[in-house]
Chains A and B, each alone.
Chain A
Amino acid sequence: MTNVSALAVLEIGPDGGLDSSAAGLIGAAALLGDPLALVVTAPGAGERPAAEAAQLGATSVFLVESLRVEAELSVPVTDSIEAAAEKINPTAILLAHTTDGRDVAARYAARKNLTVATDAVGVEIDDQGVVAHHSVFGGSYSGMSAATFGPLVVTLRQGTIDYSPPSQVLSLEKLSIPEVGVPAATIDSRQVVASVSERPQLQVAERVVAGGRGLGDAEKFGLVEELADALGAALGASRAAVDSGYVPYSHQVGQTGASVSPQLYLAVGISGAIQHLAGMQTAKTIVAINKDPEAPIFDIADFGVVGDLFTVVPQLISELESRKQ
């Protein structure tokens, strides 16, 4: 195929720069063809993210600056993709598999009658077109999907593409969208959920330490956080721990939370219900600490410790700390 272009639709992070998903999206676009980027933001806020997109390898950056972005959910970005796609006719449109990315992908696919591949963990192109890789049911199956014809809209799981194309000199094209779009929900106010922790982000972390109901309460969950810090790991949790209020939902790993594939997943006081395993069983190495020798997590753990976590974890932390010196 010649003249293949892929449009990466980038999200803006809390600090006004590009969200951490941007590098993977541009990398995936470059694997398919000419990587183009779309940045949609408030008037006057586009300079920094556009420059970052070029640095990440986008050969052209389309910028839409509109007041609608801060007032309406999903529709302004959908309209922006439509404006960009009219110019470049992309073979693939790539978005992050986030709450916002899914909404926009869904709206655009429905509007244009396009096929959508969700939660892709990789992309490739052959003479038949774009193929998306999927990891189904928590990695129990791996598959590939494609459209029968036409461009493919893809939402990409974060942290799955590690290809980085060379940086580009910024080639910027400003686009505009209509002042009024289809009916959208109104954003009445928005608060950035301040990231108070210095820990790595769960979805992309090399190491994850996660706690479950075995911790007993929110205060004792601090032990899991200490271990995470000793290992420089992100903090995860089972649904039981989240439902019990030990930690916010953003830490939930599993079928209804985040899917992670770190180098190390260390589960503390997590029994390993199937819906939890669905979010972490593709981790390279799994370690479990649990007092119940029959806990299903041990069936998939590379290293399991049957013991009292309140004894083992503090010992492990001090052992790790002493080895650092």
Chain B
Amino acid sequence: MKEVPDTYGEKKVSLETGLVERQATEPVVDEITERAVELAVSHAESADEDVEVIVMSMAPSSAVDSIRKGLAMGADRAVQICDESLRGADLGQTSEALAAALKLTGFDLIIAGNVSTDGASGMLPSMLAEHLQIPAATGLSEVTITHGKVAGTRVTEESSAQVSAQLPAIVSITEALPDPRFPSFKGIMGAKKKKHETYSLEDLSIASNNFTVPRSIMVTIAERPPREAGVKVVDEGDAAVQLADFLTSNALA
């Protein structure tokens, strides 16, 4: 699960640090990761074997409520990677920390969103696959989980493929998957009693300042001047002609 700045709010970047200003808008759970929780929980409900669902998030301590939402949706327990030195972590550090935590908890199937609404790199699932040496079936618009195997439809810009992987594996899902459920009152009450572990980098045996590995740095950041509204005409029968004039005179038609 990932906590992000409100998807429907205006996002801000600090011009001093180049980092996302997480206080600028109300933090929310990234919707795509709620869909990932939905897939895991609905599979656990319908599977003919016992399935434990763990929600994992690398997030500051303030993200407890977001992570608890996953528990309220029906996950069994939560693992949060939380360490002050991970503030502003790049993809390399993030994937390293998550992979180490995943090794500690153990897993059969990792379910992730395909692209977050803030960083939007879409790269973590494949990075985790490489760190964990497991198959990655990314960008799935349909997923079938059976005993020891996961399969699905992967739609890319140019093709649609049926893909599959033996477990352990990682999948990333798209918005085409079912909407996440709303937590029930019982789920919300129960979530507070569920196990919520926190790992620091030390717990994961990761050095917090490892300068032997290259990191991504923002060199500059600038805010673009806002666009201004131009001409607005109310249609009184001739707006189409005026618009055609506008397009023609700007060589756009």
Report which A residues bind B (CB closer than 8 A).
Answer: 13-14, 19, 73-74, 78, 98-100, 102-107, 109-111, 113-119, 131, 136-137, 139-150, 155, 182-193, 207, 231, 249-250, 255-256, 263-264, 273-275, 281, 285-287, 289, 293, 298-308, 311-313, 315-316, 319-320, 323
Contacts and interface: CB of A to CB of B under 8 A. Distances in A.
A300 B229 CA distance: 5
Looking at chain B's contact residues, the main secondary structure is mixed
Contacts of A312: 235, 239-240, 243
B227 interface: yes
A269 B178 CA distance: 26
A25 to B, nearest CB: 15
B135 interface: yes
A73 B246 CA distance: 48
Interface residues of B, number: 87
Given A146-B219, A256-B115, A105 B123 contact: yes
A306 to B, nearest CB: 5
B252 interface: yes
B7 A255 contact: yes
A315 B237 CA distance: 9
A113 B223 contact: no
Contact of B160 (A74, A184, A191): A191
B135 A185 contact: yes
Interface stretch (B38-46, B58-66, B88-96, B198-206): B88-96
Given A103-B138, A140-B11, A185-B169, A110 B224 contact: no
B231 A304 contact: yes
24 contacts: A73-B154, A73-B163, A74-B126, A102-B123, A103-B123, A106-B130, A109-B92, A113-B214, A143-B221, A146-B216, A148-B214, A149-B214, A183-B135, A183-B165, A187-B162, A192-B159, A256-B115, A285-B252, A287-B243, A287-B247, A300-B228, A306-B232, A306-B234, A320-B244
A115 B233 contact: no
A189 B231 contact: no
A20 to B, nearest CB: 10
A155 B126 CA distance: 14
Contacts of A150: 214
A255 B234 CA distance: 30
Which among A115, A185, A273, A311 has the greatest number of chain B C-beta atoms within 10 A? A185
B11 A145 contact: no
Given A100-B156, A263-B252, A110 B95 contact: yes
Contact of A188 (B10, B163, B215): B163
Contacts of A256: 32, 115, 117, 175
Contacts of A320: 244, 247, 253
Label chain A's interface by main secondary structure.
Answer: mixed
B230 A109 contact: no
A186 B240 CA distance: 52
A13 B220 CA distance: 35
Given A115-B214, A145-B216, A186 B163 contact: yes
Nearest to A113: B213
A31 B134 CA distance: 36
Contacts of B151: 188
A177 to B, nearest CB: 16
A315 B90 contact: no
Given A118-B121, A186-B135, 14 more contacts: A98-B157, A115-B215, A142-B224, A183-B135, A186-B165, A187-B162, A188-B164, A193-B160, A274-B8, A301-B229, A308-B235, A319-B241, A320-B253, A323-B248
Contacts of B230: 301-304
Contact of A319 (B91, B235, B240): B240
B122 interface: yes
B18 to A, nearest CB: 6
B213 A183 contact: no
B159 A193 contact: yes
A107 B127 contact: yes
Contact of B161 (A184, A187, A274): A187
Contacts of B117: 255-256, 275
Contacts of B164: 185-186, 188
A185 B136 contact: yes
A14 B159 contact: yes
Given A113-B214, A312-B240, A98 B13 contact: no
B253 A189 contact: no
B126 to A, nearest CB: 4
A98 B160 contact: no
Contacts of A301: 229-230, 232
Contact of A304 (B127, B211, B232): B232
